[in-house]
Amino acid sequence: MDGEVRVAGGLVYRFRNGAPEVLVIDDLFSHVTLPKGHVEPGELLEEAALREIEEETGIQGRIITPLEKVSYAFSAADGTSGHKVAYYFLVEATGGELKYQEEEIRGARFLSLAVARQEAYEYGYENNRSVFDKGLSMIEEHGVDASLYPSTIDSTLLTPGATVADITHLCREARAYQFASVCVNPRYVYLCAELLGGCPVKVCTVIGFPLGATPTVVKVAEAIQALNDGAEELDMVIPIGELRSGSIDAVEQDIRAVTEVAGDRAVIKVILETALLTPQEQRLGAQCAERAGAHFVKTSTGFAGGAAVEAVRLLRETVGDRLGVKASGGIRTPSDMRTMLQAGATRIGTSAGAKLVALPGAPVFE
């Protein structure tokens, strides 16, 4: 035995005329299977899966959730042998043109779920049946909803000890899942803009963070610098003490100064720090944000308490469908996230994006 080999791939799906289809390949041994290949040194499992899918079939995609881990012994034609661990993801097709890698496989096809399940059992490998079973069941149960979860995530890394390597990992993971944005401290905006160039993931940063007590002119300067560095979303903290003191005009002017300098260059999310406010104060803060031209109201920084379902519901009731609502702070499980979405949130701020979008029954890949 020559050791363990890691490979990654995926069960790719798309909707055509409202019906789901999945991508299968016909390998050189006349078996129906799924695209996969070796994980390169330093490569994320998600990155390897997407790269191999595109190389073998021409189809581009984004990760929806981990799907299955399969282990088996192998013997290669060159006499080597070992133990192979295959990591499979559920992947939504986002683009590309179906064109298979002729030197590696015999063909690639999109099939209905029923036909794919039948062919997997008749012509597939026995150790892949659980992958097909789990993936097809997830598509049948969650359908279009599954593809919406990653696009609600602002993948966040605001800890003071975050390194350049940590920020780079955040961006690489966000690109694979195509999260809505990465949210980082202002120092790293320029780096994230470089790393995420050419993909739909936005760069978000924070203004007046985490206390909101910096003067308005400083917040404006922060916003200008962030915009020049490539930020497309700004999460600003209101002057919380002013709101609690009843200085509504001061709060509104603070928000408006940032929204005006941003213009149409960035989405503005207003952090109210709801854990420190009464329901009435939360409502007043949301109304200030709307009058000042913001695009979202947000519950929390995460430094003074997390998001509460009641606060999310109140904010949604206050702004209707005119603004987005971002729930952030203490959202640690997929169930937590879905509860917040059901309460009216349209964005979720989290430092555990990949774990939150995992569908029920999904494994955790270490």
Query: What is the identity of the amino acid at 29?
Result: F
CB count, 10 Å around CB of 162? 17
Residue 254 designated active-site: no
Nearest to 62 by CA among 24, 10, 100, 15: 10
Name the DSSP letter for residue 124.
Answer: B
Angle subtended by helix axes 129-148 and 113-123, to nearest 10: 160
* Residue 145: burial class (beta carbons within 10 Å; 0-12, 13-18, 19+): exposed
Nearest to 334 by CA among 30, 53, 65, 3: 65
The active-site residue, picked from 134, 269, 326, 336, is: 326
The active-site residue, picked from 36, 202, 269, 298, is: 298
CB count, 10 Å around CB of 245? 11
Residue 355 designated active-site: no
Angle subtended by helix axes 248-262 and 279-291, to nearest 10: 40
Residue 235 designated active-site: yes
Pair type for strands 36-38 and 81-96: unpaired
Tokens 């696009």 found at: 151
- Give 231's contacts (C-beta < 8 A, 6+ positions apart): 186, 189, 193, 203, 204, 205, 266
The active-site residue, picked from 154, 235, 254, 336, is: 235
Catalytic residues: 235, 298, 326
